[in-house]
Structure 1
Amino acid sequence: MTNYAPAIAIFSSLFAGVIFSFWLGVSLTEEIIKQKNKKKFSEDLALSIIHKGKNLSLRQIQEIAETRGATQHDIQNNLKILLREILAQRNLSLQEHQSLIESLLKEMRDREPFDGLPNEVRIHLERLREGMSQTPDALEPLAIQIRELVALKSREHRMQKYYTVGGFALGIIGLVFAAYSYWVPLK
């Protein structure tokens, strides 16, 4: 009778390693592509503002963002970054477009004041905002705080996913080693 336990153990370990490496490679590739698209969108946005100037509408920016896979939050974040660069005088080519960038940011805040928040929270904040007749902007600090908490939770969730997959691969390897040790005792 032939003993296949060592071959099965080695094959299982290699298989778990290949699956884990494949998953890690796909995850890293997706993240690299996403970062490249964000960078390209930032460049596209700056060039569009420079070349189109006052004729550039928020709808056109959203069309550009759609082709790069950017979200409304990414648009708002990039506009804020461009405004920061203007105010810090790091990007002088955009200096004359400061009012356009500020008006685009204001339009985005007016349209979607609670962008980046979960839908469950956004609905309640919208109701509160409608009920506040004097200063609806008073909810902005609360919205910022909730956005920060959501971002923190999403980072934790992403890390937890990596730990889970890594623990699964390590568990498979441990089971294979235990099975190998059981079927092929030390001599």
Structure 2
Amino acid sequence: MNTRVQTSPPRVQRRREQRREAILRLAAQALAEHGPDGMRMEDLAEAADAARGTLYSHFPTKEALIDAVVRPLFARSLEAAAPLHALPPREAVRGLIALYWTLWSLSPDALRASYRLRKERLGTLAEIHGVFLGQVMAILGRAQAAGILRVGDPVLTGRIVATLAIPLLELVGARPDGERLFTAMLEDVLLNPVST
């Protein structure tokens, strides 16, 4: 009895993975530029020089493709935000600001794509996004209790971050001094000055 398992040759697997990664890169760019409604699967297949069937073999729906682009970003966010809870409140808020810069440095298109998604379009990402927002609100709640939030309200502060961070990164992210500018501007908006 022959129980040998047939597997795809490594070269075929590599090509398949390379095609998948190319599709993900193109999808992140399209989502960042046009949002989920402006991203068309047919256009992605053409840009990736792939048959529509190949695209759909990797990602059976547009929602599955959006999930594949954004979920790793949210997972990194959760992982990076967890240790911030052990820091003093001001340093934890600074850590959140630094987290945005790190995510921008690693994957600006995926970060811009996540910004273009509205709550009603999160779909399968709603749960992981909600967990991350819970972490952010816990950090901002501690900052409020410490009296260091400029507006004094963690919910409003969270909305300010959600509204300003990505557009600000788009504005200064490519500059040589972008990290310094981004950090200084968000700190000025979010935090009361350190008393001397």
The two structures have a TM-score, normalised by structure 2, of 0.29
The two structures have a TM-score, normalised by structure 1, of 0.30
Q: Which has the higher helix share?
A: 1
Higher relative contact order (CA 8 A, sep 6+): 1
